[in-house]
Structure 1
Amino acid sequence: MRKFQLRTYRLRTEEAATAYLPHWVLHVKSLELFGVETHAFFSAPSARRNVVALISFGEQADPEVVTREYMQTDAFKQDMSGFDVAQIEGVDTLLLIPGDGSPLT
């Protein structure tokens, strides 16, 4: 079973969140190279400075290691071109395990 992760990116401003969200379109393809599937990414009307993504990793993958390795690649750097990463104040992650019968199992 894949390991799901909910990632919440906290940005400095609402404008930064709006500018960051389109970069997730690019991440979808580059993350696939690392076995990471993007299920969805969202703006958050009740938390306008946040961008939220639901992704999943292979059963044997260590999400922290995969993320660290991915962020060192040229593909990631290209995806982030034109965006000031200093606008990201932090990233909160939550590992999720689908319940029996969940559509994601």
Structure 2
Amino acid sequence: MLEIRTYTLASDEALEQYADVHWARHISSLAAYGITTHHVWREIGGDQPRLIALVEYATGADPRAVTATYMSSPEFRADMDGFAMDGIIGVSSVFVEPVSSDPTS
């Protein structure tokens, strides 16, 4: 199952730190929980700084349960070490799947 996660950050500086340091750490720690990171982007020209990630959960996994387990893990805490959590002011998520006309399907 694919998920697009959008993080709204408090400042451009928070976005840079989250993208360059903390999401870089997440990629390997998420993999240990069966979550593959396909892309990590920054929004261009938006009204607030945003990071967008496309991740995929292992077949048959319950994304909400896996996410809850990961976010309570020592790996997640280590990933976020040095980042002020109030730097993230919002997170939204949508689950998606390709349609038959998708060129990568």
One fold, TM greater than 0.5? yes
Can you give the 5+ residue segments of structure 2 that lack an aligned partner in the other structure? none
Q: Of 16, 19, 36, which residue of structure 2 is paired with 1:18?
A: 16
Q: Deviations over 1:15-67 (max 9, x none)?
A: 11111102111111000111100001011122251011000002211111111
Q: How many residues get paired?
A: 102
Q: Which has the higher helix share?
A: 2
Structure 2 distance, partners of 1:67, 1:42, is 20
Give the TM-score of the pair, scaled to structure 1. Answer: 0.89
Can you give the 5+ residue segments of structure 1 that lack an aligned partner in the other structure? none
- Aligned-residue identity in percent: 32
Amino acid at match of 1:38: T
Give the TM-score of the pair, scaled to structure 2. Answer: 0.89
- Counting only pairs closer than 5 Å after superposition, residues 71-90 of structure 1 correspond to structure 2 as 71-90=71-90
| Partner residue, 2:55 | 55
- The root-mean-square deviation of aligned C-alpha atoms, in Å, is 1.3
Amino acid at match of 1:70: Y
Structure 2 distance, partners of 1:19, 1:11, is 10
Return structure 1 stretches of 4+ with deviation > 6 angstroms. none
